[in-house]
Structure 1
Amino acid sequence: MAIPEAVARFWLFFLLLISSFFYHSYGDGYTKVTRIGALIDVNSRVGKEQQIAMEIGAKKYNNTSKAHKLALHFRNASEEAFRAVSLAEQLIERQKVEVIIGMHTWQEAALVAEVGSQAQVPIISFVSPAITPPLTQKRWPYLVRLANNVTAHVKCIVDIVNAFSWQRVVVVYEEDGYAGGDYGMLSLLSEALQDIGSLIEHRLALPPISFLPDVGELINEELNKLVNRT
């Protein structure tokens, strides 16, 4: 899989930024190794691209640095979110990583953040909740969230609804069970729709996709029920 040079450069910069927090000066002949854990979905295209780009970035850095090296440890977080906890614990206890990056759902990030806080290992998450839960900083002091502003996604949806002059909206979403997840985004969406004279008529909450044996069948069943009801 070909990775754009700009993407590889971004990950090189990102890894350098991480390593700078753990780098210290040592005497001649001593090489410092920063171990970085990565929880990503290696079965998805995005996950594969992230892994390759990180490997390219780390290789470029290691080829130019003699006193400091980067060691990447990947774990596949494509299954249920709760498995991310055991994977994070393995990275910390066995691989002795000094930081963990990744996570693609807020549920994963929150669970791994608990592990990171207990072990005092920084957790850098690719996701962020729509509404930041109270006391987030105190509960997860080692959590760093890197994500786009959810309000931009909400504004895009509202602009589409407004363009078609839709008065009522049906929302289908995956329930993650964590405050500030999809439910928090729904709160923002509901308020924004009211500003243009629209409302959410019905909410269809699906269980976590990772727990479903046949996602397509369940979605078809629920949509048929919704159509018959309305």
Structure 2
Amino acid sequence: MSSHFYVNKPKKLCLRFPLNIIYLFIILSINGVAAQNGSTKVGAIIDVNSRIGKELKAAMEIAAEDFNNHSDSGKLILHFRDSGRNPLVAASAAEELIKEQKVQVIIGMETWQEAVLVADHVGNHSQVIPVISFAAPPITPPLIQRRWPFLIRMASSGSAQMKCIADMVTAYNWKRVVVIYEDDGYGGDVGLLALLSEALQDGGAKIEHHLVLPRVLSSHV
């Protein structure tokens, strides 16, 4: 008997985003991220049409408003840019945010492809700008800290996430699962599915069927 188990890429709950981002803003303020005229400019690169992008935007706006209402050390100014989860668009947005808006930190990037391309572009500038990504690679590349010392990942690796899902399947003693996920348009799920399949096999289960939802559906959520 097959157990239908909905598997989606783990995401932080929207209600947890504001608190985590407030902590992040406080840390940036304490460590003096080159505040100018009593304000710190933050560049946010997100997919404005995706569910997670909408959640991130709302969370960052809430966090910035709360921070500004209680901070005596300065204010936060958010500059949002839409990447559409396109790494090249994200990199171009980062370039514009640095040159035109003079941001002191870049946050967002829902996919690892966006994060590393933005980090590569930021690395070409003489000034050091932290890049804080909500994405993480399926498997942490070797020497990642040496290549991108200013890239901060706020998500666990894909292997850890898939192991967690596999442990849930094992706990229910399911042997076959149906994986339902949204196509990101760049093949980023292929590596995660391979990791999930391996993790499930370790627990004596397997993926019986894949159901891929078109990405366009996320714009209506």
Instruction: State if a TM-score over 0.5 links the two structures.
Output: yes
Q: 1:12 is paired with a residue of what secondary structure?
A: helix
Aligned partners of 2:201, 2:89: CA distance in 1, in Å? 39
Distance 1:165 1:103 in 2: 35
Counting only pairs closer than 5 Å after superposition, residues 118-157 of structure 1 correspond to structure 2 as: 118-119=124-125, 120-150=128-158, 151-157=160-166
Q: CA deviation at 1:66?
A: 4.7
Provide the rounded CA distance (Å) in 1 between the counterparts of 2:174 and 2:155: 29
Count, aligned residues: 198
Alignment of 1:103-114 (within 5 A): 103-114=109-120
Long gaps (5+) in structure 1: 216-230
Percent identity over the alignment is 43
Range 54-63 or range 75-84, more displaced:
54-63
Shift of 1:156: 1.7
Partner of 2:105: 99
Q: Out of 81, 88, 91, which is 1:82 matched to?
A: 88
Gaps of 5+ in 2: 1-13
Pick aligned residue for 1:185 from 189, 192, 195 = 192
TM-score by length of 1: 0.68
Counterpart amino acid of 2:56?
Q
Q: Output one character per residue of 1:104-143: Cα deviation in whole Å (capped at 9) or x when no partner.
A: 1111111111112222321100011121112211221211
Matched to 1:139, the amino acid is: R
Instruction: Return the index of the structure with the highest Cα Rg.
Output: 1
- Partners in 1 of 2:112 and 2:132 — Cα distance? 12
Question: In structure 1, how many angstroms separate the alpha carbons of the residues matched to 2:33 and 2:86?
Answer: 34
- State which drifts further: 146-155 or 181-190: 181-190
CA shift for structure 1 position 192 = 2.6
How large is the Cα RMSD of the aligned pairs?
3.6
Alpha-carbon shift at residue 68 of structure 1 (Å): 1.8
Structure 1 CA distance, aligned partners of 2:193 and 2:75? 44
2:7 corresponding residue in structure 1:
none
Is residue 32 from structure 1 mapped to residue 42 from structure 2 by the alignment? no
1:22–1:185 distance in 2 versus 1, CA, 3 Å: same
* Contact 1:37–1:72 under 8 Å retained in 2: yes
What residue is the counterpart of 2:57 in the other structure? 51
- After superposing the two structures, state which structure 1 stretch, 62-71 or 90-99, moved more: 62-71
TM-score using structure 2 length: 0.70
Instruction: Tell me: higher relative CO, structure 1 or 2? Use CA pairs within 8 A at least 6 residues apart.
Output: 2
The reply on whether 1:21 has 2:27 as its aligned counterpart is: no
Partner SS for 1:160: helix
**1:160-197: per-residue Cα shift (whole Å, max 9, x none)?**
3783334x9889876846xxx64543453344344344
TM-aligned CA deviation for residue 62 of structure 1? 2.6
